[in-house]
């Protein structure tokens, strides 16, 4: 660790700086959580609240509900009788452990480490001799191990245990070394058990040729295999991926095999379908397997699924899941705003998939979707105080949500009010682990693959490296470019100071304060919505840049998202400034999205905005408002001000279905109120709606026909 320029480096920051990045078997690696220190800002504030409030909040709820106590009961052999929590409650404990691991890795806070170790001790005590670890099955008074693969969630829980261990490996040091952690040891034993039970020889021997109803084990095994350099785990992940899609899971009443993606093999599917979180966890695991086994066909399948699903089954917010019935994707273009499920966990999972595809391909579109989803799904879920959450994230609220009691366990998908905890409470811990590891998504480092003659790599000459900023936040990026993954000697760090108020402001200033010996090229992402962006280089010249990756210090832009092909080695003192236009803009739905025909939304930079009833003038109902699309919205805070008019609505009492005859001016095709003046209306960022008491809300606002408002 050399060449630190910052004088504010503390001991804990130095520890955090050791937090290791994800190193897939590809040319790109994500950032380690210790490699970027945020200076407040949008994500810094969320991360602070997560650290200060959410982690303990989750721990307290799970202690109170007995979900952690379930491990004690297994350890004590007292599992008979009732067991609190759903069959998958262990996974919430593991996701919290993962969040704690990232949090400790990010800050080096010994209190967080101690908290984690206490929970790990209780978890470890519940592990059976042979590595099996589950509090719902396999012990006295419980159903037998793996007796219900369709709904039992045992492997799902194990997958989350392995992901927690991966976070620990990435943040505490060399796997297998003397500092091996108890959590990592527990995970290793659990993974070994899974390989024995479900391995390839299971097809003819003692093992089980099965898969889990809820994908996740694929992901956990692949990540752990990579983190511990254990090909058996990768192979087991591959087996699970390949086994799915052949209709082997016992059906769940009233749900089709598509619900758990057991209808079509992963490599044959064209689009995501069924339960969104399951589909996305599976896709993430499939990318890991594809990358680590160099399976181009499998990778291409997931890319194809991503493209069609994003184009036709994804909300403006990045949210996924159009149906409550199965928490699932709908048909193409089926994107109702009011019944949008957009589960918070599906947002988290979508980021996980896109991040893997970003590292696998470098394609900027994946970073664009990550940004959209982080700001408008992940950041929407937690209440400002970090102690209540949205489970579903609809884009329209027709009736104000009911008040939530702070001490209540709530139904999971009620809209309109954030709740402290849910009966199925997957979202709070998913938010926690995502916020604690936000740094991972912020940038990636591209090494030229050694020994390969790849045209796209040629530009990175002489052992050079490309650092790409994918997400923007003020802070200090301190990337170890010591070739550890290639086994070479250290040659120093790149240190970048990012100054910005993004997304409030579109200016991102990057100053180079240290460089390694190797030449480094810096790329910045120009989001797809940023028409009119400019880049000011180290020489002070300002150039228009198009959406895509733009190489700092050169004018090159590559909208296709592949490498810019221009090497421009950074030097200490270099400053580049990217200016993104974040003026509010109108956004229109594709005409095939029937549910929002005749409406427009307003976005501001990466933020989707919303019209909330608490911002309406007295006497105006949300249903009456028509947006005057002929008047450009203007910025106000992080939201916008738009011009609006009202239309009259039919009074109740007709006693017939709400359909009838009538041309313009009738109750069924109302024109704006004659003589009623147009008025200004404030829209707020969608991610902060429902913070001012129960309200109704809509992202897509019906538009008045232009000629009617002039």
Report how far apart, in Å, the C-alpha atoms of 48 and of each of 432, 447, 493 are: 11, 32, 26
Alpha-carbon span 605 to 685, nearest angstrom: 11
Residue 323 sits in the site that holds a copy of itself (CB under 8 A) = yes
Secondary structure class of 651 (helix, strand, coil): coil
Quote the least distance from Cβ 649 to a copy of itself, whole Å.
7
d(CA 355, CA 225): 18
Applying CB under 8 A, which of residues 11, 254, 489, 674 lies at the interface with a copy of itself? Answer: 254
Cα separation, 318 vs 333, in Å, equals: 14
Q: Please tell me the count of residues contacting a copy of itself according to CB under 8 A.
A: 78
Residue 326 beta carbon to a copy of itself: minimum distance, rounded to whole angstroms: 8
Instruction: Answer yes or no whether residue 646 interacts with a copy of itself by CB under 8 A.
Output: no
User: In this complex, which beta carbon is closest to a copy of itself, that of residue 250 or of residue 588?
Assistant: 588
Contact between residue 108 and residue 15 where contact means Cβ atoms under 8 Å apart: yes
- When asked if residue 470 is in the footprint of a copy of itself (CB under 8 A), the reply is no
339 sits near a copy of itself (criterion: CB under 8 A): yes
Q: At a CB cut-off of 8 Å and minimum separation 6, what does 173 contact?
A: 18, 179
Tell me the per-residue interface mask from 604 to 623 with a copy of itself, x by CB under 8 A, - otherwise.
Answer: -------------------x
Q: What is the CA radius of gyration of the chain?
A: 26
Contact (Cβ atoms closer than 8 angstroms) between residue 323 and residue 343? no
Sign for the CA dihedral angle at 613, 615, 621, 623 comes to negative
Alpha helices, H only, 41-180: 41-49, 55-65, 69-76, 89-107, 110-125, 154-172
3-class secondary-structure state, position 599:
strand
Nearer to a copy of itself, 515 or 609 (CB): 609
Q: Mark residues 293-312: x for contact with a copy of itself by CB under 8 A, - for none.
A: -------------xxx-xxx
Q: Using the minimum distance from each CB to a copy of itself, give the nearer residue, 15 or 89.
A: 89
Site for a copy of itself in 349-388 (CB under 8 A): 365, 368-369, 372
State the minimum distance, in angstroms, from the CB of residue 418 to a copy of itself: 18
Q: Distance between CA 188 and CA 164 in Å, rounded?
A: 11
Q: Which residue stretch of 29-37, 138-146, 156-164, 653-661 sits at the interface with a copy of itself (rule: CB under 8 A)?
A: 653-661
Q: Exactly one of 99, 228, 271, 335 binds a copy of itself (CB under 8 A); which one?
A: 335
635 lies in the site for a copy of itself, by CB under 8 A: no
CA angle 699, 432, 344 (to 5 degrees): 30
Choose, by CB under 8 A, the member of 25, 405, 597, 634 that binds a copy of itself: 597
- Give the distance, in angstroms, between the CA of residue 219 and the centroid of all CA atoms in the same chain: 15
Of these, 209, 334, 501, 708, which contacts a copy of itself (CB under 8 A)?
A: 334
Subset of residues 531 to 590 that bind a copy of itself, contact rule: CB under 8 A: 585-590
Query: Which residue, 81 or 652, is less far from a copy of itself as judged by CB?
Result: 652
In angstroms, give the least distance from the CB of 588 to a copy of itself: 4
Task: Report 224-253 residues binding a copy of itself (CB under 8 A).
Answer: 253
Between 396 and 434, CB nearer to a copy of itself: 396
Question: What backbone phi and psi angles, to 5 degrees, belong to 521?
Answer: -105, 135
For position 84 contacting a copy of itself by CB under 8 A, the verdict is: no
* Residue 403 found at the interface with a copy of itself (CB under 8 A): no
Q: Is 69 in the site for a copy of itself (CB under 8 A)?
A: no
CA distances from 365 to 35, 317, 344, 562, 587 (A): 24, 15, 21, 10, 18
Judged by CB under 8 A, the residue of 236, 261, 305, 314 near a copy of itself is 314
Residue from 40, 231, 406, 411 that binds a copy of itself (CB under 8 A)? 411
Contact 371, 687 (CB under 8 A): no
Contacts of 133 (CB under 8 A, 6+ apart): 90, 123, 126, 127, 158, 161, 186, 189, 190, 193
- Which one-letter DSSP state was computed for residue 378? I
Binding mask 488-527 for a copy of itself (x = CB under 8 A): ----------------------------------------
CB proximity list for 600: less than 8 A, separation 6 or greater: 586, 587, 588, 589, 627, 629, 700, 701, 703
Tell me the pairing of strands 634-636 and 639-646: antiparallel
Q: Provide, rounded to whole angstroms, the least separation between the CB of residue 598 and a copy of itself.
A: 4
CB of 306 or CB of 444, closer to a copy of itself: 306
Q: Give me the least distance between CB of 454 and a copy of itself, in Å please.
A: 23
What's the DSSP call for residue 497? E
CB closer to a copy of itself out of 86 and 679: 86
Residues 6 or more apart whose CB falls under 8 angstroms from that of 47 comprise 38, 106, 435, 436, 438
* Touching a copy of itself, residues 673-692 (CB under 8 A): none
Pick from 3, 265, 333, 449: which binds a copy of itself (CB under 8 A)? 333
Contact 474, 38 (CB under 8 A): yes
Site membership for a copy of itself, residue 658 (CB under 8 A)? yes
Contact status, residue 89 vs residue 66, Cβ threshold 8 Å: no
The answer to whether 153 contacts a copy of itself (rule: CB under 8 A) is no
Of the candidate spans 52-60, 155-163, 327-335, 681-689, the one that interacts with a copy of itself by CB under 8 A turns out to be 327-335
Q: Does 668 bind a copy of itself (CB under 8 A)?
A: yes
Return the residue of 134, 513, 567, 599 that touches a copy of itself, per CB under 8 A: 599
Q: Which of 657, 674, 675, 677 binds a copy of itself (CB under 8 A)?
A: 657
Q: How far is CA 10 from CA 2, 17, 104, in A?
A: 14, 10, 14
Per the CB < 8 A criterion, the answer to whether 608 and 376 are in contact is yes
Given the complex with a copy of itself, which of 520 and 644 has the nearer CB atom? 644
- Selected from 4, 117, 324, 504, the binder of a copy of itself by CB under 8 A is 324
**Is 61 within 8 Å of 69 (Cβ atoms)?**
no
Q: Which of 596, 607, 609, 704 binds a copy of itself (CB under 8 A)?
A: 596
Residue 669 in the binding site for a copy of itself (CB under 8 A): yes
486 binds a copy of itself per the rule CB under 8 A:
no
Per CB under 8 A, 177 contacts a copy of itself: no
Region from 35-43, 484-492, 661-669, 683-691 binding a copy of itself, contact rule CB under 8 A: 661-669
E strand spans, 250-372: none
Residue in 106, 196, 518, 528 binding a copy of itself, rule: CB under 8 A: 528
Of 315, 311, 216, 303, the closest CA to residue 267 belongs to: 303
By CB under 8 A, residue 126 contacts a copy of itself: no
Beta pairing partners, 535: 543, 578
Residue 21 binds to a copy of itself (criterion: CB under 8 A) = no
Q: Is the peptide bond before 486 cis (omega within 30 degrees of 0)?
A: no
Structure tokens at 250: 């016992």
Considering Cα of 81, then 419, then 394, then 660, what sign does the dihedral take? positive
Locate 26 and state its tokens: 């590809």
Task: Out of 256, 543, 562, 636, name the contact with a copy of itself by CB under 8 A.
Answer: 256
CB count within 10 Å of CB 122 equals 16
Q: Please tell me whether residue 55 binds a copy of itself under the rule CB under 8 A.
A: no
> Is residue 649 a contact point for a copy of itself (CB under 8 A)?
yes
Determine, following the binding rule CB under 8 A, whether residue 670 of this chain makes contact with a copy of itself: yes
What minimum distance in Å lies between the beta carbon of 651 and a copy of itself? 10
Of the listed pieces 36-44, 183-191, 293-301, 405-413, which binds a copy of itself according to CB under 8 A? 405-413
Tokens 């057991």 map to which residue? 262
Which residues are bridge partners to 685 per DSSP? Answer: 609
If residue 296 lies in a helix (H) or strand (E), which one and from where to where?
Answer: helix 296-312
């Amino acid at each position: 660790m050399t060449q630190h320029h910052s004088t504010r480096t503390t001991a804990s920051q130095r520890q955090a700086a050791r937090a290791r990045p994800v190193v897939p078997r590809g040319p790109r690696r994500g950032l380690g959580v210790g490699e970027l220190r945020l200076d407040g800002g949008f994500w810094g504030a969320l991360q602070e609240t997560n650290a200060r409030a959410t982690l303990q909040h989750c721990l307290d709820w799970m202690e109170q509900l007995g979900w952690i106590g379930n491990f004690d009961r297994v350890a004590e052999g007292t599992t008979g009788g009732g067991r609190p929590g759903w069959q998958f409650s262990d996974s919430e404990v593991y996701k919290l452990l993962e969040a704690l691991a990232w949090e400790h890795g990010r800050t080096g806070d010994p209190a967080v480490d101690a908290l984690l170790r206490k929970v790990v001790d209780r978890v470890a005590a519940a592990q059976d001799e042979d590595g099996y670890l589950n509090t719902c099955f396999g012990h006295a008074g419980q159903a037998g191990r793996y007796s219900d693969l369709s709904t039992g969630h045992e492997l799902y829980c194990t997958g989350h245990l392995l992901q927690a261990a991966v976070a620990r490996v990435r943040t505490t040091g060399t796997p297998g070394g003397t500092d091996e952690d108890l959590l990592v040891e527990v995970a290793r034993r659990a993974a070994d058990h899974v390989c024995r039970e479900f391995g390839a020889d299971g097809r003819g021997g003692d093992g089980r040729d099965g898969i889990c109803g809820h994908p996740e084990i694929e992901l956990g095994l692949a990540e752990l295999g990579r983190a511990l350099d254990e090909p058996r785990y990768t192979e087991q992940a591959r087996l699970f991926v390949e086994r799915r899609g052949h209709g082997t899971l016992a059906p769940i009443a009233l749900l089709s095999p598509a619900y758990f993606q057991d209808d079509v093999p992963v490599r044959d599917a064209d689009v995501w379908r069924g339960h969104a979180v399951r589909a996305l966890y599976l896709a993430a695991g499939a990318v890991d397997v594809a990358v680590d086994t160099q399976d181009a066909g499998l990778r291409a399948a997931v890319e194809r699924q991503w493209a069609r699903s994003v184009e036709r089954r994804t909300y403006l917010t990045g949210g996924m899941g159009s149906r409550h019935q199965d928490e699932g994707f709908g048909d193409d273009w089926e994107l109702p705003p009011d019944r949008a499920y957009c589960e918070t966990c599906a947002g988290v999972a979508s980021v996980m998939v896109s991040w893997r595809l970003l590292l696998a391909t470098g394609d900027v579109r994946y970073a664009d979707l990550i940004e959209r989803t982080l700001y408008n799904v992940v950041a929407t879920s937690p209440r400002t105080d970090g102690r209540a959450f949205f489970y579903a994230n609809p884009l329209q609220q027709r009736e104000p949500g009911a008040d939530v009691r702070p001490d209540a366990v709530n139904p999971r998908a009620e809209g309109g009010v954030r709740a402290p905890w849910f009966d199925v409470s997957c979202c709070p811990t998913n938010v926690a682990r995502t916020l604690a590891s936000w740094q991972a998504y912020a940038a990636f480092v591209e090494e030229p693959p050694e020994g390969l003659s790849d045209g796209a790599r040629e530009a990175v000459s002489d052992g050079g490296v490309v650092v790409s900023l994918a997400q923007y936040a003020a802070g200090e990026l301190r990337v170890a470019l010591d070739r550890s993954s290639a086994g070479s000697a250290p040659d120093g760090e790149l240190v970048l100071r990012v100054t910005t108020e993004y997304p409030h402001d579109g200016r991102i200033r990057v100053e180079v304060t240290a460089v390694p010996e190797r030449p480094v090229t810096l790329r910045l992402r120009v989001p797809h919505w940023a028409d009119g962006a400019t880049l000011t280089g180290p020489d002070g010249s300002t150039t228009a840049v198009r959406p895509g990756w733009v190489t700092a210090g050169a004018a090159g832009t590559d909208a296709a998202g592949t490498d810019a092909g221009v090497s421009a080695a950074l030097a200490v003192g270099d400053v580049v400034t990217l200016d993104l236009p974040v003026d509010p803009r109108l956004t229109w739905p594709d005409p095939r999205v029937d549910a929002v025909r005749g409406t427009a939304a307003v976005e501001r930079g990466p933020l989707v905005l919303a019209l909330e009833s608490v911002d309406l003038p007295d006497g105006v109902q949300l249903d009456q408002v028509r947006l005057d699309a002929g008047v450009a919205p203007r910025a106000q805070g992080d939201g916008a001000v738009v011009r609006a008019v009202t239309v009259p609505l039919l009074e109740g009492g007709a006693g017939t279905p709400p359909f009838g005859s009538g041309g313009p001016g009738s109750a069924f095709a109302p024109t704006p109120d004659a003589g009623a003046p147009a008025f200004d209306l404030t829209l707020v960022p969608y991610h902060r709606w429902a913070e001012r008491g129960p309200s109704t809300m809509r992202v897509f606002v019906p538009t008045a026909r232009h000629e009617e408002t002039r």
